[in-house]
Structure 1
């Protein structure tokens, strides 16, 4: 089963991931590879790099799982892609990868609540999806979020996510990240 994971994800990146990224100026694949490259540049370690690489996989797996797609999100229905992606990834990878993936949307809601200037820096597409995803957290929700395991990792992921929408930024190809995925798969086996 673990041997099949990397080719399956590579196919998702080459297929559905080659499509436009929901109102952003890059494809989903470029977005994910840019996010992973930012995590790698921050010397974040294998799990955060993999989480950055895979954080939006929930937008891509609808053909495999029957879940809602990213197109559904942009049409006005929250596809809960963090949750569906994390559940799907959990078949192969541990919580150091899956929990930041699951929590990255809530990290956007959290940052909007605790950093007033954060919202202004979001892309128009991200502002639109924020409202579908529940809007900024309340003070109580933010305090509860802060106490979650992996919340800080999800916030770091969210910051890479926000920066990974630059059509002029080079991103390594998917194969560049395969050794990271192999190490994590070996550790999970």
Structure 2
């Protein structure tokens, strides 16, 4: 007879697998959206995760890089939201959705990655020159340059360093035609992180 602890563990594994499958379905259905970039959301996710892995980032940060823009695929404003002057708060939507199954090491850098962009633009003005047109457009909608108080509040966040790394992967993940590991190759790691939460 299976012990109660074993049954709970089995249920956790099943729930983790289901959550990973749900994420895969989201990217399968909306991952071809572009949001003003030359690469699709799925390509961007794969490239960001690739750069995190190449940087020997933690498993949590690799998955954060993969899923940091999932909020774009969950909101109901459409691909042209920025053109209509709407900040979709995709970082909040995405981190909130993922927090149902994934640990803070994944979700907190995602929640902070927009603030990390604003911080970099505030403290390194030449950083703005590296942004794509779409990222610059969203930067303005997301609040632009930070106040001194906002800078201090960002630096006080426990996961701000992870968000800064995630931001670097984000900027690198916009190369057309890059051949790297596909989205599905990360599903086992998503399942593992969801299981041990």
Question: Which residue of 135, 146, 149 corresponds with 1:137?
Answer: 146
Question: Which residue of 9, 13, 18 corresponds with 1:4?
Answer: 18
Distance across 2 between alignment mates of 1:70 and 1:149:
32
1:3 Cα shift?
A: 2.5
Question: Which residue of 98, 105, 109 corresponds with 2:114?
Answer: 105
Q: Is the 8 A contact 2:82 2:137 kept in 1?
A: no
In the other structure, the counterpart of 2:54 is: 41
- Equivalent pairs counted in the alignment come to 183
Report the 3-state secondary structure (helix = DSSP H, G, I; strand = E; otherwise coil) of the residue aligned with 2:19: helix
1:32 aligns with 2:41: no
In the other structure, the counterpart of 2:80 is: 71
Name the Cα RMSD after superposition: 1.3
Ranges in structure 1 where 5+ consecutive residues have no aligned partner = none
By relative contact order (CA 8 Å, sep 6+), the higher-ranking structure is 2
In the other structure, the counterpart of 1:94 is: 103
User: Cα gap change, 1:71/1:92 in structure 2, threshold over 3 Å: closer, same or farther?
Assistant: farther
Distance across 2 between alignment mates of 1:74 and 1:91:
31
1:61 aligns with 2:70: no
Rg comparison, structure with higher value: 2
> TM-score scaled to structure 2, two decimals?
0.88
Distance across 2 between alignment mates of 1:108 and 1:48:
17
Report the 3-state secondary structure (helix = DSSP H, G, I; strand = E; otherwise coil) of the residue aligned with 1:31: helix
> TM-score scaled to structure 1, two decimals?
0.92
**Mean Cα deviation higher: 163-172 or 94-103:** 163-172
Question: Which residue of 13, 28, 46 corresponds with 2:27?
Answer: 13
Distance across 2 between alignment mates of 1:12 and 1:111:
30
Report the 3-state secondary structure (helix = DSSP H, G, I; strand = E; otherwise coil) of the residue aligned with 1:60: helix
User: Cα gap change, 1:70/1:148 in structure 2, threshold over 3 Å: closer, same or farther?
Assistant: farther
Ranges in structure 2 where 5+ consecutive residues have no aligned partner = 1-14
